[in-house]
Amino acid sequence: MVNIFFRIIFSFLLVMLLLLLLMNDKVALGQDGDPVGSTQGGGGREMVPALFIFGDSLIDNGNNNNLPSFAKANYYPYGINFNGGPTGRFSNGYTSELLGLPLIPAYSEASGAQVLHGVNYASAAAGILDITGRNFVGRIPFDQQIRNFQNTLDQVTDNLGASDVSNAIARCIFFVGMGSNDYLNNYLMPNYNTKNQYNAQQYADLLVSEYSRQLTTLYNLGARKFVLAGLGRMGCIPRILAQYQMDRCSEEVNQLVMPFNANVKTMINNLNANLPGARFTFIDIARMFEDLLTNYRSYGFSVIDRGCCGIGRNGGQITCLPFQTPCANREQYVFWDAFHPTEAVNIMFGRKAFYGDQSVVYPMNIQQLASL
C-alpha cells in the first residue's frame, strides 16, 4: 500500500476541518433558514454552510471501496462505521463524537439530503496528474473529483435553484489535500519515467501549473473559500525509514517536495490577487511536522520512528494488515501505521490549523476564513 504515503498530513486536515470547523459549531449546507440545509446532527450556529473535501488516501472515507483498486482501507482496524462495519477510511481516528454532526459522506455513498452537509470526493492513490497512482489500478484523480463535485452541484441546483445554491456555495469551505501521490506513486516509482523527464523544480512547476488550473475550475463552479494542505516531511514516515534503513529522516526525500510547497504558496498569492472574492489558505504541514518531531516529548509523545500498527523495521515495511492488533498505547505514537499519523497528532495539527498564526497557516487560519 505504498500509495497511502504522505497524505498522512492532508488526512489530518480532514480530521482538522471536521473536528474543529464542525466541533466549534457545525458544517452543513445551511441551518437557521439557509435554503440549502438540514437540522440533523449537533447543535450550535453554523460557521459555514458545508464542507467539500478533495484529496487522497486518509481523506478517502469510502470512495475506493467499490473500485477495482488496491488502494483501500475497508477492513479492521482502520475504522468502524455506525453499523459496525469497516468505513474504508485510512485512519484510526473517528471524529464524529467530537463534531456533534454527521460525518461528511463519501461521494460514492451520498444521496438525497446527505449532500447538503457537504461531500467527500477524496480517493486513495489519487493525484494532481491523472497518471499518478496507476500501480493501484482504480482511483479517482483530482480532475475527476472536480467533475463529481459538478454532478453534486447540478443535483442540488435542480432541487433548490441556481441563485440560492450559488450564494451558499460561496460561503462553503473547500478543503483540498493533493500532491503527495504525485511524488510517492509517480516521481519516486521505478516504473515511471517522470524522474528522468523532470528535475525537482521542473516537476513542481508542472504540478502547480495543473493544480492552479484545477482550483480555478472549482472557483468557476462557485467555490470561494479554499483550504490547501501543503506536503509534509515525507522523509520521516516509518515507510521511508524502513525503506532507506535509516534511524532518522531522509533529507533527500524531504528536500524533494520543498519546491512544490514554495510554488503552492506563490500560487495562493496569485489566486487571491487575481480571482475576485477568492480566499485561499495554505496549511504549512511541513513546519508543523518539523516542530512535532523536534519537540515530541513536550507534546506527550514517546515514539516517533515506528508505526503503531505495521510489520517489520520501524513498523513500516508492511503497513497495518487486516485484523492486525495495533499497539496498546497509540496515544504515545506519532504514526498510526507506515504512512499516517495517529488521531492524537491529527487533533493537535487540526487545532493549530484552525487557531494558529501565520507561521503555520497562511494568510489566515481556518476560523478566520470561516468567519468571513
Q: Enumerate the active-site residues.
A: 57, 337, 340
CA 108-110-111 angle, to 5 degrees, is 125
Alpha helices by DSSP H, 221-296: 238-243, 251-256, 258-274, 285-294
Kindly state the cell numbers that stand for 69. 483498486
Q: At what angle do helices 285-294 and 343-355 cross, to 10 degrees?
A: 120
Report whether 51 contacts 21 (CB < 8 A): yes
Task: Yes or no: say if 176 and 56 are a contact pair by the CB < 8 Å rule.
Answer: no
3-state secondary structure of 76: coil
Decide: 188 and 195 in contact? Cβ < 8 Å.
Answer: yes
Q: Tell which residue, 330, 292, 297, 324, has the closest CA to residue 311.
A: 324
Question: What is the rounded CA–CA span in Å between residue 130 and residue 133?
Answer: 8
With beta carbons less than 8 A apart as the criterion, state whether 146 and 217 touch.
yes
Exposure string of 342-351, with b = 16+ CB inside 10 Å and e = fewer, is bbbbbbbbbe
Identify the DSSP state of 302: -
- Sequence-distant (6+) residues with CB within 8 A of 141 are 123, 126, 127, 128, 129, 130, 132, 133
Collapsing DSSP to helix, strand or coil, 106 comes out as strand
- Rounded distance, CA 97 to CA 13, Å? 17
- The whole-angstrom separation of Cα 120 and Cα 105 is 6
Phi, psi torsion values for 295, nearest 5 degrees:
-120, 30
